[in-house]
Amino acid sequence: MKHFRITLQYDGSRYDGWQKQGNTDNTIQGKIEELLTKLFEQKVEIQGSGRTDAGVHALGQVASFQVDTDIGPAKVMEKMNVFLPKDIIVTDCRLTDARFHARLNAKSKTYVYRIVTGDIRPVFGRQYVLWHAEQLDVTSMRKAAEYLIGEHDYKSFLGNRHYKKSTVRTIESITITEDVIKAGETEFPGIKMAFKGNGFLPNMVRILTGTLLEIGEGKRKSEEMEGVLSGCDRALAGPTAPAHGLTLLKVEY
């Protein structure tokens, strides 16, 4: 039995998220497991580092699986990339030991949300950025983000009301930078918001983004974030930002 660790990139636009589900066969985990089961002629289950939402992209998703085979990692990667859909690719494949688990062993994850600001709406590459015509008060957004750093109960930013596990997480950093955003071959003024933490609740990064956007729009004051966080009530936070602006950038072990 060999144990593999793979790194993946995918465009999540047409998928129902990472996690396989009983009501759809159009998930990234499901597509990969289906392929591996056919390639190795045995049932293969994979574990991802996290469950990206429907429409969310990844540049550095990590997954692990075990399979009874004589094939090495280079050949496994080659075979997978021949048969995977064109919007999913394996960028790294290596052997690991039986103790490695892509989710349980992850130390931190970094997500990036990209926002194009200004009057010109991107046409090419629009599925990877959020267009926000109004200018945003980045200084106020940064002040609000400071309240979110550290270990807290982030229940106010939980998108699944049926979630039964702990809602305590640690956010190491939230970096909000004014930057040039490239969509297609065109460069736009915009903002990048990078969230690094030891784990994130369902929809958490998108709700954090939506709340920070309300502050940037002047609909809330920066100081209100403290009460939103301590209130542990989803109704206190802002809307869930659209999925297509969000990308899982990397996972660290």
Contact criterion met (CB below 8 Å) for 96 and 39: no
Contact criterion met (CB below 8 Å) for 126 and 47: no
| β pairing state of 130-132 and 108-117 | parallel
| Dihedral of the alpha carbons of 218, 223, 228, 230, in degrees to the nearest 10 | 170
**Is the C-alpha dihedral spanning 194, 229, 251, 86 positive or negative?**
negative
| Amino acid letter, residue 127 | Q
Distance CA(45)–CA(66), nearest Å, equals 8
- Sorted by sequence, the CB contacts under 8 Å of residue 105 that are 6+ apart come out as 99, 253
Catalytically annotated residues: 53
DSSP 44-74: --EEES--PPTT-EEEEEEEEEEE--S--HH
